């Protein structure tokens, strides 16, 4: 067995997802999910991350980022300990941890493009006693890439089918697609917001962290003129490679469209329609006949899934659960896989996806 742990905390900032995987490229099933653990963020930490992620952040960012970086490192290490206890394994069984970290700023279009993830990998390695691989985005960006999305290479490894087009849709805070043609080059990019703006909007009006099953959105009606204004954002018209985050799609972005003049539930319905339409339009640029596989938290939003089905008539829509992996764990598994790639000196990016000039090994290695 070659055991790896993957850690992921996404744009929604709801929990640390930890997975234990057996990775063996010589096997017919190269990656097996053995155990999972989801550790919710303490509310105070969640609020600090959201605050630090705001583009208009006005406190002392250097001090607060450094403190939060260390604190998240401790929380990531604790999640590894919890996963190992639940699984019955010990640290000596594990070859490496792949930790994505928590993104607080993603600027792929800056003069010197950069992406910052916190969750101190020195802390993880020291506290767990396990080699830790982190900082997966930077090398791709140095070679001219977006540094995101990085998961399409993993999607290709586990979902590609030589007889059928497939599209993997990750519905996290941000939505991204991976187009896996039966034959030909893999493509992937962020399509725009999935849950992040909806989560912020329901948090503002109903003090809930998310809209369960899209129930609140289902009580509203889509506002056609607002939807057209949202769709006019330049990001949606950009050609790929492209990636985005909360820096762009947030409440400040939303409020420029005078949304307070509408019923809040109608705005929520319109935001859900925005996600469904932008994802669907992106898919239809590449294929008219494919199996669409949903993962991420939005795969549990029945209203969103129904809306996607309406926008993608003729496509088969399933969740990753129907392929043996619950939607929650795909991204964390990807970073266990990327840690394996790094330790074995194998490239982890797809230049056609990120726009990098060349394939490259991703990640920096932190010894215990």
The answer to whether the annotation marks 87 as part of a ligand binding site is no
Spatial distance between the Cα atoms of 143 and 360, rounded to a whole number of angstroms: 8
Q: How many residues does the chain have?
A: 368
Cβ atoms of 304 and 175 within 8 Å: the answer is: no
Phi, psi of 281 (to 5 degrees): -65, -40
Phi–psi pair at 159, nearest 5 degrees: -115, -10
* H or E element, residue 203: helix 196-206
Phi, psi of 52 (to 5 degrees): -70, -25
Q: How far apart are CA 61 and CA 54, in angstroms?
A: 11
17 is an annotated ligand-binding site residue = yes
Q: How far apart are CA 195 and CA 272, in angstroms?
A: 8
- In DSSP terms, 115 is beta-bridged to 106
- Does 172 belong to an annotated binding site? no
- Which residues have CB under 8 Å from 85's CB, separation 6+? none
14 has binding-site annotation: yes
Instruction: Tell me which residue has tokens 């795909």.
Output: 330
28 secondary structure, DSSP code? S
Q: Is 11 annotated as a binding residue?
A: yes
> Is 328 among the annotated ligand-binding positions?
no
Q: How far is residue 139's CA from residue 137's CA, in Å, rounded to a whole number? A: 6
Binding residues for ATP: 10-17
Binding residues: 10-17
């Amino acid at each position: 067995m070659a055991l790896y742990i993957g850690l992921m905390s996404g744009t929604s900032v709801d929990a640390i997802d930890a997975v234990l995987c057996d990775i063996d490229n010589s096997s017919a099933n190269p990656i097996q999910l053995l155990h999972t653990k989801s550790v919710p963020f303490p509310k105070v930490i969640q609020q600090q991350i959201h605050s630090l992620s705001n583009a208009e952040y006005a406190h002392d960012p250097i001090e607060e980022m450094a403190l939060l970086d260390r604190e998240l490192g401790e929380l990531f290490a604790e999640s590894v300990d919890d996963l190992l206890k639940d699984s019955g394994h010990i640290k000596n069984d594990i070859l490496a941890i792949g930790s994505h970290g928590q993104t607080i700023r993603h600027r792929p279009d800056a003069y010197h493009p950069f992406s910052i993830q916190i969750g101190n990998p020195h802390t993880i390695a020291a506290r767990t006693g396990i080699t830790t691989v982190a900082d997966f985005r930077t090398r791709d960006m140095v070679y001219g890439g977006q540094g995101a999305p990085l998961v399409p290479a993993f999607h290709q490894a586990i979902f590609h089918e030589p007889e059928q087009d497939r599209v993997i849709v990750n519905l996290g805070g941000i939505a991204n697609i991976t187009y896996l043609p039966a034959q030909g080059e893999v493509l992937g990019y962020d399509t725009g917001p999935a849950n992040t703006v909806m989560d912020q909007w329901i948090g503002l009006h109903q003090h809930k962290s998310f809209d369960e099953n899209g129930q609140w959105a289902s009580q509203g009606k889509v506002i056609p003129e607002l939807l057209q204004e949202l769709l006019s954002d330049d990001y949606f018209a950009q050609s790929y490679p492209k990636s985005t985050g909360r820096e762009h799609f947030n409440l400040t972005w939303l409020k420029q469209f005078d949304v307070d003049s509408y019923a809040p539930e109608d705005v929520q319905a319109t935001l859900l329609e925005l996600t469904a339409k932008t994802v669907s339009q992106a898919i239809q640029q590449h294929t008219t006949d494919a199996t669409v596989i949903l993962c991420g938290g939005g795969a549990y939003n029945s209203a969103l899934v129904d809306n996607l089905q309406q926008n993608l008539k003729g496509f088969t829509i399933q969740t990753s659960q129907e392929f043996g992996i619950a939607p929650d764990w795909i991204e964390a598994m990807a970073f266990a896989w990327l840690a394996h790639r790094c330790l074995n000196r194998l490239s982890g990016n797809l230049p056609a996806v990120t726009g990098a000039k060349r394939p490259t090994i991703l990640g920096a290695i932190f010894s215990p």
